[in-house]
C-alpha cells in the first residue's frame, strides 16, 4: 500500500515534529488498505501519547492504489476522541 501525504499533512508533520515513518506504520497497522475506496476516515492514534504527549488524529481517504493522508494533528483533550470511528 502506497501512502501519500498532502502538502498540508507534510506541513503538520514538520510543525508538530512527528516522524513520517511512525505515521506510516500506524496506518499499516490499522489495515487502511482493506477499507472501502473513497470513504473519508478519521481515527485517533494512541501510539503518539508517549512521544508528543497527546493522541494524534489522522484524517485520510483511500483511493484505488494508495492512501492519502489529508491532515494530522495532536489532540489536546482526551475527552473528545472517544467516539471517533477506527
CATH assignment at residue 6: 3.30.2310
Q: Does some domain include residue 85?
A: no
CA–CA gap between residue 37 and residue 14 (Å, rounded): 28
3-state helix, strand, coil split of the chain in percent (to 5) is 40, 30, 30
User: 21: buried, middle or exposed (CB in 10 Å: 19+, 13-18, 0-12)?
Assistant: exposed
Give the number of domains in the chain.
Answer: 1
CA–CA gap between residue 43 and residue 59 (Å, rounded): 7
User: 22: buried, middle or exposed (CB in 10 Å: 19+, 13-18, 0-12)?
Assistant: middle
Q: Using one digit for the tens of pLDDT, what is the confidence trace for 54-74? A: 788 889 888 888 889 999 988
| Residues of the domain holding 75 | 2-80
Q: Using one digit for the tens of pLDDT, what is the confidence trace for 10-53? A: 999 998 888 899 888 888 887 766 777 777 777 777 777 667 77
Amino acid at each position: 500500500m502506497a501512502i501519500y501525504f498532502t502538502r498540508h499533512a507534510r506541513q503538520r508533520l514538520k510543525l508538530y515534529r512527528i516522524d513520517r515513518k511512525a505515521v506510516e506504520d500506524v496506518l499499516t497497522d490499522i489495515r487502511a488498505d482493506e477499507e472501502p475506496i473513497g470513504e473519508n476516515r478519521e481515527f485517533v492514534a494512541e501510539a503518539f501519547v508517549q512521544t508528543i504527549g497527546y493522541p494524534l488524529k489522522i484524517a485520510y481517504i483511500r483511493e484505488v492504489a494508495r492512501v492519502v493522508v489529508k491532515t494530522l494533528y495532536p489532540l489536546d483533550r482526551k475527552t473528545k476522541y472517544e467516539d471517533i470511528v477506527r
